Amino acid sequence: MGSAELWEERGAGVLRLPSGRLVRGRGLRRPLEPGAPSPSYGVYLLGKPPPDVPWESRWLRWPDFWLPTDRTSARAVLTEAWERAAEERVEVACDGGRGRTGTALACLAVLDGVPPEEAVAYVRRHYDRHAVETPWQRRYVRRFRG
């Protein structure tokens, strides 16, 4: 997939990481915007299996307001998402698009070189000012290492 097929940087929910990788965060409660491109790969952070989608996806069991149930799997899934974002349209989504999605995006920022103690602020500044909702989500990001 060429760069012409990546996210539009000004698209809804698109976060530009320092390396230039673009990742879209989204709340699944909100439908895709008409005409918005579909992801080529999605990571869905939910307590129950996500709805079927016509693109490749991974489900990371992650209850609302909490942390991933399997941290080793979470690291692998997020690392794969970060790697794929260099060449593909990667979407990260939970129900609301703020807490779990913001936490996962902050972890992607750490993988991209943002210091862990700065990653939440980075995501709040460039994605959603309410991202990463709980103290334990913030602590998870601070302890996440690239």
How far, in Å, are 34, 62, 86, 104 from residue 70 at the CA level? 35, 8, 25, 14
Residues 19-48, mean pLDDT to the nearest whole number? 92
% of the chain residues with pLDDT over 70? 97
pLDDT at 50 over 50: yes
Q: What is the CATH number of the domain that holds 62?
A: 3.90.190.10
User: What's the pLDDT at 84?
Assistant: 97
- Asked whether the beta carbons of 91 and 66 are under 8 A apart, the reply is no
Condensed to tens digits (0 to 9), the pLDDT of residues 98-114 reads: 999 999 999 999 999 99
- The domain tally of the chain equals 1
State the first-to-last Cα distance of the chain, in angstroms, to the nearest integer.
25
Chain mean pLDDT for the chain: 93
Condensed to tens digits (0 to 9), the pLDDT of residues 9-33 reads: 888 899 999 999 999 999 999 888 7
Task: Using pLDDT thresholds of 50, 70 and 90, give the confidence band for residue 3.
Answer: very low
Q: Residue 66, SS3?
A: coil
Domain range for 108 is: 3-8+16-30+37-143
What beta strand segments (E) does the chain contain? 14-16, 22-27, 41-46, 56-61, 90-94
Residues 46-65, mean pLDDT to the nearest whole number? 93
Condensed to tens digits (0 to 9), the pLDDT of residues 74-98 reads: 999 999 999 999 999 999 999 999 9
User: What's the pLDDT at 2?
Assistant: 43
12: DSSP letter: T
Which pTM does this prediction carry? 0.93
